Amino acid sequence: MAYIGFENIDKYYGKNHVLKGINLEIKQGDFVTLLGPSGCGKSTLLRCLAGLETTSGGKIILDGEDITEKDPKDRNIGMVFQHYSLFPNMTVKENLSFGLKLQKLPANEIEKRVKDSIEMVELIGKENEYPNNLSGGQQQRVALARGIVMRPKVLLLDEPLSAIDAKLRKSLQTSIREIHKEMGLTSVFVTHDQDEAMVMSDVIHLFHDGKIEQSGDPVDIYTKPVTPFAAGFIGNYNILNPAQMEKLTGKKWDGDVAIRPETVIISREAVTSAESYKMQGVILDRVTRGNVLRYKIQVNGIEVQSDVLFRSASMYEVGETAYMALADHNCVRL
Ligand code: ADP
Ligand code: MG
Protein backbone atom coordinates (compact mmCIF):
# COMPACT_ATOMS: atom_id res chain seq x y z
CA MET A 1 0.00 0.00 0.00
CA ALA A 2 1.14 3.52 -0.75
CA TYR A 3 2.58 5.53 2.13
CA ILE A 4 1.08 8.78 0.83
CA GLY A 5 -2.05 8.60 -1.29
CA PHE A 6 -3.88 11.39 -3.06
CA GLU A 7 -7.32 10.20 -4.17
CA ASN A 8 -9.18 12.36 -6.67
CA ILE A 9 -7.96 15.65 -5.29
CA ASP A 10 -9.77 18.71 -6.59
CA LYS A 11 -8.98 22.27 -5.70
CA TYR A 12 -10.75 25.42 -6.79
CA TYR A 13 -9.76 29.00 -6.06
CA GLY A 14 -13.06 30.64 -6.90
CA LYS A 15 -13.73 29.50 -10.47
CA ASN A 16 -10.09 28.64 -11.08
CA HIS A 17 -9.87 24.82 -11.19
CA VAL A 18 -6.30 24.40 -9.98
CA LEU A 19 -6.09 20.66 -9.20
CA LYS A 20 -8.16 18.45 -11.49
CA GLY A 21 -8.73 15.05 -9.94
CA ILE A 22 -5.18 14.21 -8.87
CA ASN A 23 -4.51 10.54 -8.15
CA LEU A 24 -1.03 9.91 -6.88
CA GLU A 25 0.70 7.28 -4.77
CA ILE A 26 4.04 7.73 -3.06
CA LYS A 27 6.12 4.90 -1.63
CA GLN A 28 7.73 5.13 1.78
CA GLY A 29 11.38 6.15 1.54
CA ASP A 30 11.13 7.56 -1.97
CA PHE A 31 12.40 10.93 -3.05
CA VAL A 32 9.58 12.16 -5.26
CA THR A 33 9.55 15.30 -7.37
CA LEU A 34 6.59 17.27 -8.67
CA LEU A 35 7.95 18.90 -11.82
CA GLY A 36 6.18 21.39 -14.05
CA PRO A 37 5.95 24.98 -15.27
CA SER A 38 4.95 27.81 -12.96
CA GLY A 39 1.25 27.91 -12.07
CA CYS A 40 0.42 24.25 -12.81
CA GLY A 41 -0.56 23.45 -9.20
CA LYS A 42 2.56 21.87 -7.65
CA SER A 43 2.67 24.09 -4.56
CA THR A 44 -1.06 23.80 -4.06
CA LEU A 45 -0.85 20.00 -3.91
CA LEU A 46 2.07 20.19 -1.49
CA ARG A 47 0.21 22.66 0.71
CA CYS A 48 -2.84 20.39 0.73
CA LEU A 49 -0.62 17.55 1.97
CA ALA A 50 0.82 19.77 4.72
CA GLY A 51 -2.68 20.98 5.67
CA LEU A 52 -1.85 24.60 4.87
CA GLU A 53 -4.59 24.55 2.24
CA THR A 54 -7.95 22.76 2.23
CA THR A 55 -9.01 20.56 -0.68
CA SER A 56 -12.28 21.07 -2.58
CA GLY A 57 -12.73 17.32 -2.98
CA GLY A 58 -10.93 14.02 -2.57
CA LYS A 59 -8.95 12.30 0.13
CA ILE A 60 -5.36 12.38 1.38
CA ILE A 61 -3.93 9.32 3.09
CA LEU A 62 -0.69 9.26 5.11
CA ASP A 63 0.63 6.03 6.57
CA GLY A 64 -2.75 4.32 6.44
CA GLU A 65 -4.65 7.23 7.96
CA ASP A 66 -7.08 9.67 6.31
CA ILE A 67 -5.52 13.07 7.11
CA THR A 68 -7.72 15.18 4.81
CA GLU A 69 -9.33 17.04 7.71
CA LYS A 70 -6.49 16.77 10.18
CA ASP A 71 -4.91 19.81 11.80
CA PRO A 72 -1.55 20.70 10.17
CA LYS A 73 0.34 20.50 13.46
CA ASP A 74 -0.83 16.92 14.00
CA ARG A 75 0.32 15.67 10.58
CA ASN A 76 4.00 15.36 11.50
CA ILE A 77 5.15 16.84 8.20
CA GLY A 78 8.25 19.03 7.82
CA MET A 79 8.35 21.76 5.24
CA VAL A 80 11.06 23.86 3.58
CA PHE A 81 10.20 26.79 1.30
CA GLN A 82 12.05 28.87 -1.26
CA HIS A 83 12.03 31.79 1.17
CA TYR A 84 13.73 30.57 4.27
CA SER A 85 11.22 32.25 6.62
CA LEU A 86 13.51 32.01 9.63
CA PHE A 87 12.79 34.09 12.73
CA PRO A 88 15.23 37.03 12.33
CA ASN A 89 15.34 37.81 16.05
CA MET A 90 16.34 34.26 17.02
CA THR A 91 19.70 32.51 16.71
CA VAL A 92 20.09 29.36 14.64
CA LYS A 93 19.71 27.26 17.77
CA GLU A 94 16.61 29.16 18.89
CA ASN A 95 15.06 28.85 15.42
CA LEU A 96 15.52 25.10 15.60
CA SER A 97 14.32 24.59 19.16
CA PHE A 98 11.22 26.76 18.75
CA GLY A 99 8.88 24.02 17.50
CA LEU A 100 10.30 21.45 19.91
CA LYS A 101 9.63 23.75 22.87
CA LEU A 102 6.03 24.17 21.69
CA GLN A 103 5.81 20.38 21.82
CA LYS A 104 7.10 20.56 25.38
CA LEU A 105 9.88 18.04 24.86
CA PRO A 106 12.39 17.70 27.73
CA ALA A 107 15.34 20.10 27.53
CA ASN A 108 17.97 17.39 27.04
CA GLU A 109 15.98 15.88 24.16
CA ILE A 110 15.66 19.31 22.51
CA GLU A 111 19.40 19.86 22.96
CA LYS A 112 20.20 16.52 21.32
CA ARG A 113 17.86 16.94 18.36
CA VAL A 114 19.07 20.47 17.64
CA LYS A 115 22.68 19.30 17.78
CA ASP A 116 21.96 16.35 15.46
CA SER A 117 20.18 18.57 12.92
CA ILE A 118 22.96 21.15 12.92
CA GLU A 119 25.47 18.39 12.26
CA MET A 120 23.31 16.95 9.52
CA VAL A 121 23.23 20.24 7.58
CA GLU A 122 26.91 20.97 8.32
CA LEU A 123 26.42 24.18 10.27
CA ILE A 124 28.51 23.33 13.32
CA GLY A 125 29.86 26.57 14.83
CA LYS A 126 26.92 28.67 13.59
CA GLU A 127 24.56 27.77 16.46
CA ASN A 128 24.56 31.24 17.99
CA GLU A 129 24.49 33.30 14.80
CA TYR A 130 21.45 35.30 13.74
CA PRO A 131 20.05 34.59 10.24
CA ASN A 132 21.14 38.02 8.95
CA ASN A 133 24.78 37.07 9.52
CA LEU A 134 24.48 33.95 7.36
CA SER A 135 24.67 33.60 3.56
CA GLY A 136 21.59 32.55 1.57
CA GLY A 137 22.89 29.01 1.30
CA GLN A 138 23.53 28.81 5.05
CA GLN A 139 20.08 30.21 5.82
CA GLN A 140 18.55 27.55 3.61
CA ARG A 141 20.55 24.94 5.53
CA VAL A 142 19.01 26.28 8.75
CA ALA A 143 15.55 26.03 7.15
CA LEU A 144 16.38 22.47 6.14
CA ALA A 145 17.51 21.66 9.70
CA ARG A 146 14.27 23.12 11.00
CA GLY A 147 12.38 20.87 8.56
CA ILE A 148 13.99 17.74 9.99
CA VAL A 149 14.43 18.65 13.66
CA MET A 150 10.84 17.58 14.42
CA ARG A 151 11.66 14.09 13.02
CA PRO A 152 8.80 14.28 10.53
CA LYS A 153 7.31 11.34 8.67
CA VAL A 154 7.46 13.31 5.47
CA LEU A 155 9.62 16.21 4.32
CA LEU A 156 8.14 18.65 1.81
CA LEU A 157 10.44 20.96 -0.11
CA ASP A 158 8.88 23.68 -2.26
CA GLU A 159 11.52 25.02 -4.70
CA PRO A 160 13.99 25.32 -1.81
CA LEU A 161 16.96 25.99 -4.11
CA SER A 162 15.42 28.43 -6.59
CA ALA A 163 16.92 31.51 -4.92
CA ILE A 164 20.39 30.00 -4.59
CA ASP A 165 23.19 30.45 -7.11
CA ALA A 166 24.18 27.60 -9.41
CA LYS A 167 27.32 26.30 -7.69
CA LEU A 168 25.92 26.26 -4.16
CA ARG A 169 22.77 24.73 -5.51
CA LYS A 170 24.62 21.59 -6.57
CA SER A 171 26.10 21.11 -3.11
CA LEU A 172 22.71 21.63 -1.46
CA GLN A 173 21.12 19.13 -3.86
CA THR A 174 23.65 16.58 -2.63
CA SER A 175 23.04 17.50 1.04
CA ILE A 176 19.30 17.12 0.66
CA ARG A 177 19.66 13.69 -0.97
CA GLU A 178 22.04 12.56 1.78
CA ILE A 179 19.80 13.76 4.60
CA HIS A 180 16.82 12.11 2.92
CA LYS A 181 18.68 8.77 2.85
CA GLU A 182 20.30 9.00 6.25
CA MET A 183 17.05 9.81 8.03
CA GLY A 184 15.00 7.36 6.00
CA LEU A 185 12.60 10.15 5.07
CA THR A 186 9.87 10.17 2.48
CA SER A 187 10.43 13.43 0.62
CA VAL A 188 8.28 15.37 -1.82
CA PHE A 189 10.22 18.02 -3.71
CA VAL A 190 8.81 20.68 -6.01
CA THR A 191 10.77 22.24 -8.85
CA HIS A 192 10.25 23.74 -12.30
CA ASP A 193 13.82 22.76 -13.26
CA GLN A 194 14.03 19.50 -15.22
CA ASP A 195 17.76 19.04 -14.58
CA GLU A 196 17.26 19.37 -10.84
CA ALA A 197 14.39 16.86 -10.98
CA MET A 198 16.61 14.38 -12.88
CA VAL A 199 19.45 14.68 -10.37
CA MET A 200 17.36 14.44 -7.20
CA SER A 201 14.52 12.03 -7.77
CA ASP A 202 13.59 8.39 -7.49
CA VAL A 203 10.27 9.21 -9.14
CA ILE A 204 9.15 12.27 -11.11
CA HIS A 205 5.54 13.34 -11.60
CA LEU A 206 5.30 15.80 -14.46
CA PHE A 207 2.47 18.29 -13.87
CA HIS A 208 0.59 20.17 -16.53
CA ASP A 209 -2.36 22.44 -15.87
CA GLY A 210 -3.61 20.81 -12.65
CA LYS A 211 -3.12 17.24 -13.85
CA ILE A 212 -0.34 14.70 -13.87
CA GLU A 213 0.89 14.38 -17.43
CA GLN A 214 3.38 11.56 -16.87
CA SER A 215 5.00 9.68 -14.00
CA GLY A 216 8.17 7.62 -14.01
CA ASP A 217 11.79 7.37 -12.95
CA PRO A 218 14.19 9.96 -14.40
CA VAL A 219 15.36 7.67 -17.21
CA ASP A 220 11.80 6.90 -18.32
CA ILE A 221 10.73 10.51 -18.15
CA TYR A 222 13.82 11.55 -20.12
CA THR A 223 13.76 8.90 -22.81
CA LYS A 224 10.06 8.06 -23.20
CA PRO A 225 7.92 11.19 -23.15
CA VAL A 226 4.31 10.20 -23.85
CA THR A 227 2.83 13.50 -24.95
CA PRO A 228 3.97 16.58 -26.89
CA PHE A 229 3.86 18.55 -23.63
CA ALA A 230 6.19 16.06 -21.90
CA ALA A 231 8.58 16.03 -24.86
CA GLY A 232 8.52 19.82 -25.02
CA PHE A 233 9.24 20.24 -21.31
CA ILE A 234 12.01 17.68 -20.99
CA GLY A 235 15.34 17.25 -22.73
CA ASN A 236 15.05 19.79 -25.58
CA TYR A 237 13.38 17.27 -27.87
CA ASN A 238 12.86 17.90 -31.59
CA ILE A 239 9.11 17.50 -32.07
CA LEU A 240 8.10 16.74 -35.66
CA ASN A 241 4.70 16.17 -37.22
CA PRO A 242 4.04 13.31 -39.69
CA ALA A 243 4.55 15.50 -42.76
CA GLN A 244 7.90 16.72 -41.47
CA MET A 245 8.93 13.16 -40.57
CA GLU A 246 8.04 12.01 -44.08
CA LYS A 247 10.20 14.74 -45.64
CA LEU A 248 13.04 13.68 -43.38
CA THR A 249 12.86 9.92 -43.72
CA GLY A 250 10.94 9.32 -46.95
CA LYS A 251 8.35 7.10 -45.28
CA LYS A 252 4.81 7.64 -43.91
CA TRP A 253 4.26 8.39 -40.19
CA ASP A 254 1.04 8.18 -38.16
CA GLY A 255 1.55 10.78 -35.43
CA ASP A 256 3.96 13.26 -33.92
CA VAL A 257 7.46 12.07 -33.15
CA ALA A 258 9.97 13.29 -30.54
CA ILE A 259 13.70 13.00 -31.17
CA ARG A 260 16.35 13.83 -28.59
CA PRO A 261 19.12 16.05 -30.07
CA GLU A 262 21.89 13.75 -28.81
CA THR A 263 20.48 10.85 -30.84
CA VAL A 264 20.72 12.76 -34.11
CA ILE A 265 23.97 11.66 -35.74
CA ILE A 266 25.97 14.08 -37.88
CA SER A 267 28.84 12.70 -39.92
CA ARG A 268 31.27 13.55 -42.73
CA GLU A 269 30.92 10.07 -44.17
CA ALA A 270 27.65 8.43 -45.16
CA VAL A 271 26.23 6.46 -42.21
CA THR A 272 26.00 2.73 -42.87
CA SER A 273 24.20 1.27 -39.83
CA ALA A 274 21.22 -0.79 -40.96
CA GLU A 275 18.49 0.48 -38.61
CA SER A 276 19.01 4.16 -39.48
CA TYR A 277 17.21 6.71 -41.61
CA LYS A 278 19.95 8.39 -43.62
CA MET A 279 19.91 11.80 -45.21
CA GLN A 280 22.06 14.76 -46.18
CA GLY A 281 21.69 18.29 -44.91
CA VAL A 282 23.26 21.68 -44.42
CA ILE A 283 24.52 23.08 -41.10
CA LEU A 284 22.49 26.23 -40.31
CA ASP A 285 23.81 27.10 -36.88
CA ARG A 286 26.29 26.03 -34.21
CA VAL A 287 26.19 26.97 -30.53
CA THR A 288 28.77 25.97 -27.93
CA ARG A 289 27.16 24.79 -24.70
CA GLY A 290 30.04 23.78 -22.47
CA ASN A 291 31.19 20.33 -23.52
CA VAL A 292 28.40 20.01 -26.08
CA LEU A 293 28.03 21.52 -29.55
CA ARG A 294 24.45 22.13 -30.58
CA TYR A 295 23.82 22.20 -34.31
CA LYS A 296 20.82 23.20 -36.30
CA ILE A 297 20.82 21.18 -39.49
CA GLN A 298 18.40 21.50 -42.39
CA VAL A 299 17.25 18.50 -44.42
CA ASN A 300 14.64 18.82 -47.20
CA GLY A 301 13.45 22.09 -45.64
CA ILE A 302 13.09 20.57 -42.16
CA GLU A 303 15.23 21.87 -39.28
CA VAL A 304 16.58 19.43 -36.72
CA GLN A 305 18.72 20.02 -33.65
CA SER A 306 21.67 17.77 -32.98
CA ASP A 307 23.91 17.71 -29.88
CA VAL A 308 27.39 16.26 -30.17
CA LEU A 309 30.32 16.14 -27.78
CA PHE A 310 32.76 18.98 -28.29
CA ARG A 311 35.75 17.48 -30.13
CA SER A 312 37.80 18.78 -33.05
CA ALA A 313 36.34 16.00 -35.23
CA SER A 314 32.81 17.19 -34.49
CA MET A 315 33.41 20.78 -35.62
CA TYR A 316 31.30 21.72 -38.64
CA GLU A 317 31.04 25.19 -40.09
CA VAL A 318 27.78 26.94 -40.89
CA GLY A 319 26.93 26.26 -44.54
CA GLU A 320 28.80 22.97 -44.61
CA THR A 321 27.08 19.88 -46.01
CA ALA A 322 26.91 16.89 -43.69
CA TYR A 323 25.36 13.46 -43.51
CA MET A 324 22.74 12.92 -40.87
CA ALA A 325 21.20 9.75 -39.51
CA LEU A 326 18.45 8.75 -37.09
CA ALA A 327 17.88 5.32 -35.58
CA ASP A 328 14.24 4.27 -35.69
CA HIS A 329 14.24 3.37 -31.97
CA ASN A 330 15.19 6.96 -31.16
CA CYS A 331 12.09 8.30 -32.94
CA VAL A 332 9.69 8.33 -29.96
CA ARG A 333 6.04 8.11 -31.02
CA LEU A 334 3.86 10.54 -29.05
P1 ADP B 1 2.94 26.15 -9.02
O2 ADP B 1 3.44 25.87 -7.62
O3 ADP B 1 2.94 24.94 -9.88
O4 ADP B 1 3.67 27.28 -9.65
P5 ADP B 1 0.51 26.96 -7.65
O6 ADP B 1 0.04 25.72 -7.02
O7 ADP B 1 1.20 27.96 -6.79
O8 ADP B 1 1.42 26.59 -8.93
O9 ADP B 1 -0.71 27.72 -8.32
C10 ADP B 1 -1.64 27.08 -9.17
C11 ADP B 1 -2.71 28.06 -9.55
O12 ADP B 1 -3.46 28.43 -8.38
C13 ADP B 1 -2.23 29.36 -10.16
O14 ADP B 1 -3.13 29.73 -11.16
C15 ADP B 1 -2.28 30.33 -9.00
O16 ADP B 1 -2.49 31.62 -9.44
C17 ADP B 1 -3.48 29.83 -8.21
N18 ADP B 1 -3.35 30.08 -6.75
C19 ADP B 1 -2.39 29.60 -5.94
N20 ADP B 1 -2.59 29.99 -4.66
C21 ADP B 1 -3.70 30.76 -4.67
C22 ADP B 1 -4.43 31.45 -3.65
N23 ADP B 1 -4.05 31.43 -2.37
N24 ADP B 1 -5.54 32.12 -4.03
C25 ADP B 1 -5.96 32.15 -5.33
N26 ADP B 1 -5.31 31.50 -6.33
C27 ADP B 1 -4.21 30.82 -6.01
MG1 MG C 1 4.99 26.85 -6.59
Rounded to 5°, angle at Cα 323 from 320 and 324 = 115
Give the pLDDT band (50/70/90) at residue 23: very high
Which residue has the least CA distance to atom 15 on ligand 1?
39
pLDDT per position as a tens digit, 117-128: 999 999 999 999
Q: How far is CA 321 from the centre of its chain?
A: 38
Nearest ligand to the CA of 45 is 1
Question: Residue 191: CB within 6 Å of ligand 1?
Answer: no
Nearest Cα residue to 79 out of 182, 159, 158, 171 = 158
pLDDT per position as a tens digit, 303-329: 999 999 999 888 999 999 999 999 999
Among positive and negative, which fits the CA dihedral 244, 250, 252, 254? negative
pLDDT value for 113: 95
Nearest ligand to the CA of 38 is 1
Question: Residue 310: CB within 6 Å of ligand 1?
Answer: no
Ligand 1 geometric centre to CA of 18 (Å): 7
Element holding 249 (H helix, E strand): helix 242-249
pLDDT per position as a tens digit, 86-127: 999 999 999 999 999 998 999 999 999 999 999 999 999 999
The Cα-based distances of 221 to 202, 206, 234, 292 in angstroms read 11, 8, 8, 22
Helix (H, G, I), strand (E, B) or coil at 86: coil
| Residue 37 Cα: closest atom of ligand 1 | 3
What CA–CA distance (Å, rounded) separates 316 from 63?
A: 57
Give the pLDDT band (50/70/90) at residue 54: very high
pTM, two decimals, is 0.90
